[in-house]
Amino acid sequence: MASSDPSVRAPRASDASASGAPARALATGGAAFSPLYRQIKDLLVQSLDRGEWKPGESIPSELELAARFQVSQGTVRKAIDELAAESVLLRRQGKGTFVATHNEARVRYRFLRLAPDEGEPAPAQSRILECRRVRAPQDVARSLELRAGDSAVLIRRVLSFGDIPTVFDEIWLPGALFRGLTQERLARNEGPLYAFFEAGFGVSMIRADEKLRAVAAEPLTADVLQVPVGTPLMQVDRVSFTYGGRPVEFRRGLYRTDRHHYRNSMN
């Protein structure tokens, strides 16, 4: 880490207390007020986005960051608190603060909400049916903030639990971010897809919005999931976002819910 970091402390309202003059000029250009800890949070997110600290690595200690940004440890702490609450960072007492990974057990089932009706959640077997580059259809392009016709990667896969095919996913990714993604590399990958994306392409999925509905199985889907045509399935449309709220995946999943259910918790 460079010791002469350009991200120095932004003047803020509180500084007036020392000089008596109401000096106020925010680094963001002065349009919107944002507390110091949130400016620090934004700087941390920018560093994550730039890849300064990679998933699984530890970030500098709170005291180091406080020195770098010229603020108190408490202010850095509050910024990290928010990022930890969003599962972007992970604190481990006595060890440090780490960039979250999609490999850890603690977040492993954060995005896969399908749970077995009986027994414990078990890892799924993934079979890649297809992976090719296509022009983004209009609705996908809109979700991914691409221009219609831009390059995209389309993946079709099936997730099975104990030999029962349960999830049929169609996944669209922005072609520009996933150069070199091939069916071979996908098939070689074990473990969660998102862990593969962050390790192989530097794209971290941080947040996702889903829309769920009940639909009848169409012939193709029915064949893949080995159910009669017309069987009620859950259709899950998801848009996933990376640092800074940029959409980087659109996905349509079709779930069999005869032995599994989609779990959700609200508060």
Q: Which residues bind DNA (CB under 7 A)?
A: 12-14, 16-17, 33, 35-38, 59, 61-64, 71-75, 77-78, 91-97
Instruction: For the chain, give the number of residues.
Output: 267
Q: What is the footprint of a second copy within residues 18-37 (CB under 8 A)?
A: none
Q: Report if residue 93 touches a second copy, rule: CB under 8 A.
A: no
Q: Which is nearer to DNA, 33 or 138 (CB)?
A: 33
Which helix (H) or strand (E) covers residue 224, if one does?
A: helix 219-225
What contacts 156, CB < 8 A, 6 or more positions away?
Answer: 128, 129, 130, 131, 168, 169, 170, 171
Binding a second copy (rule: CB under 8 A), the pick from 85, 94, 119, 228 is 85
With beta carbons less than 8 A apart as the criterion, state whether 185 and 199 touch. no
To a second copy, the closest distance from the beta carbon of 262 in angstroms equals 4
Taking every pair of Cα atoms in the chain, the longest distance, rounded to a whole number of angstroms, is 76
Q: Which is nearer to a second copy, 11 or 232 (CB)?
A: 232
To DNA, the closest distance from the beta carbon of 82 in angstroms equals 10
Which helix (H) or strand (E) covers residue 39, if one does?
A: helix 36-50
Binding a second copy (rule: CB under 8 A), the pick from 5, 57, 64, 86 is 86
Q: Which is nearer to DNA, 75 or 242 (CB)?
A: 75
In 3D, which of 190, 189, 150 has the Cα closest to residue 173?
A: 150
CA distance 208 to 206: 7
With beta carbons less than 8 A apart as the criterion, state whether 208 and 223 touch. no
Binding range to a second copy, per CB under 8 A, among 34-42, 148-156, 167-175, 205-213: 205-213
Specify the 3-state DSSP secondary structure of 78: helix
To a second copy, the closest distance from the beta carbon of 7 in angstroms equals 25
C-beta neighbour count of 101 within 10 angstroms: 20
**In Å, how far are 53, 87, 97, 110 from 102, measured between CA atoms?**
15, 10, 16, 9
Q: x-or-dash pattern for a second copy, window 225-244, by CB under 8 A?
A: -----x-xxx----------
Binding range to a second copy, per CB under 8 A, among 81-89, 120-128, 175-183, 191-199: 81-89
Binding a second copy (rule: CB under 8 A), the pick from 29, 95, 213, 219 is 213
To DNA, the closest distance from the beta carbon of 152 in angstroms equals 39
Binding range to a second copy, per CB under 8 A, among 52-60, 118-126, 196-204, 209-217: 209-217
Amino acid letter, 267: N
To a second copy, the closest distance from the beta carbon of 141 in angstroms equals 19
Cα–chain center distance at 256:
24
Token code pair at residue 76 = 């850095």
Applying CB under 8 A, which residues contact a second copy?
A: 85-87, 110-111, 113, 206-216, 230, 232-234, 255, 257, 261-267
